[in-house]
Each structure stands twice: as structure tokens, then as C-alpha cells.
Amino acid sequence: MIKIIEAPLAQNLQPLSLYWREHGIDHRIVEQMGLQVILVKDDSLRQKLIEDYQAFIEGRLSIKLQRRQMPDRRLALLQFLKHFPVTLSLFVLSIVGFLLVYFNQQALLDLLAIQGIDNHSLSQRLNLPERISTQEYLAHGQYWRLITPIFLHFGWLHITFNMLWLWELGRRIELQGGSLHLLSVVFFIGVASNLYQAASTPLATFGGMSGVIYGLLGYCAVFSLISPQRALHLPKEIYIFMLASLLIGYLGIFDFLAQMANTAHLSGLIFGCVIGVPSAILSRWGSR
């Protein structure tokens, strides 16, 4: 590059440099021997740059710099998250459920379990036995218990694993089908998996979003086969990993760490596949 102008180091040439760049003048300003040196590739620009520099230092060239409005990252994040209200609501409710378990809020946990041991005042007022089945709760109109166990999580690994998959799968379905659709899918899978788990382990306390997660996985798999959607496409390695985890749960390899609700996992997967069929068919028919 060709040296055009030398200027003192103390002189602020940034406004002039920005002015040149706005006018498409390719140049560089470097430090050499205690001076600022302005370099250009095209020597034909020499006279203009010298004239602009003289006008700038004499105050005849007035350059006003406007601060560019930088996008607010928090606002951008909120704009992104507003597309997934149901996924975020499920996330928050799961965190709340985990905290209830973590801080041993037994009175509230007894209101959320689908079955188990309950000897608190509410059960006594309803004349319920200490060991209460799902049918007994439902007979007294406590239908919320059909879905609330999905929000209870027992340990950091449990909540972390489920929330990662909820965010990955839930937002895909919400983006593709809408918030109401995701809510209905989660409700259907959650109730079905809870009922089947309760039937397979009578009076046992269980919880977690895992059954729903497997259901969402099955939903994505079936939907993608019938009506391929980019939003629901998942690498085959994910399916292999999740199915292997399901098999490991049934083999009881990690039962020494925690008992898994295997029936909820399997039934959730099955019902996710089931509800994925009409959803995909309707989506494919609607696109035509």
C-alpha cells in the first residue's frame, strides 16, 4: 500500500476513517515510527485524502458520528422464547416440582401424586385410607393427579436429563404444530403413561417427565416418516440412544442408583407414536 499522510499519534483520526469508509475509500491507518500513517492501494486517491485531511484538521469538514443501536440481547432472547410458551411453562412447572421434592414439601407432594401413602389432613377429611389408589383419588374428583406426576423429579440427574430433552423435543413440536397442539400431545401422553405406570406399580410413588419425553420422541419419529418435517427431523443416533436407555431401564442395570418408571417410558413411547399418526396424516392432507 502507498503512504499518503503522516499524522501525530494524539490526533483522533477515527471520524475521518469512518467518513472514508462510508464513501467506499479503501485505506488503512497504522503506527510507524511514532506517527499515524494513512495508506491506500490506489494512488489516484492521494489528492482527495490530503484535501479531506486538511479540511478535517482545520475544522472545515464536519463529521458527525452516530452511535449504532446495538440489539438488546435480553430483548432478542425474549423474542425467541415467546415462540415456545408451552415448552417453557412445562419447564418451569418441572423445576417447581423438583424443588418441592428437593426441599421435602410432603404436604404439597401428596396433592400431586397419582397414588401412594397419604395420612395428612386432606385425606383424613375425605375419609381416605393412608394407602390410596388412583381410583380412590379419582372417585373424589381429584383428576389433576392424572397429569401432575410428570412435574415431580427425584434428583439432579433426573431433572437435568428430562429438561434437556423437553427443550429439544418440545420446542420442535411447538414450532411445527403450535402451542395448543403441543399442550394436547403432552397431556395425552402424560395421562396415558401415568395410568399405565400406576397400574404396573400399585401404590408406588413415581414421577418425572420421562414418559412424556419418550412419547415426544415417538411422535417425532412417526410424524417424520409419514409427513417429513425439517423441524421434527432427529439424527438416528438419538433414537438409538433413547431406545438403548429404555432397554437398560428394563434390564435394571442402574437400579442401584434409582428405580426407573419403565412402564411410563414404554407406554409414553407407544402413545406418542399413536398420536403421531393422525397428526402427521392431517398435516400432510392440510399441506395439499
What DSSP letter does each residue of 39-97 carry, written as one string? EES-GGGHHHHHHHHHHHHTT-S-----------HHHHHHHHHTT-HHHHHHHHHHHHH
Grid cell, residue 57, equals 484538521
Instruction: Give strand pairing partners of 141.
Output: none
**Is 233 an annotated catalytic residue?**
no
**Is 265 an annotated catalytic residue?**
yes
Length of the chain: 288
Phi, psi dihedral angles at 256 (to 5 degrees) = -70, -20
Per annotation, catalytic residue among 27, 265, 267, 279: 265
Distance CA 209, CA 164 (A): 11
Per annotation, catalytic residue among 94, 123, 193, 210: 210
Q: Sort residue 135 into left (φ over 0), alpha (ψ -120 to 50) or beta.
A: alpha
Give me the active site residues, please. 210, 265
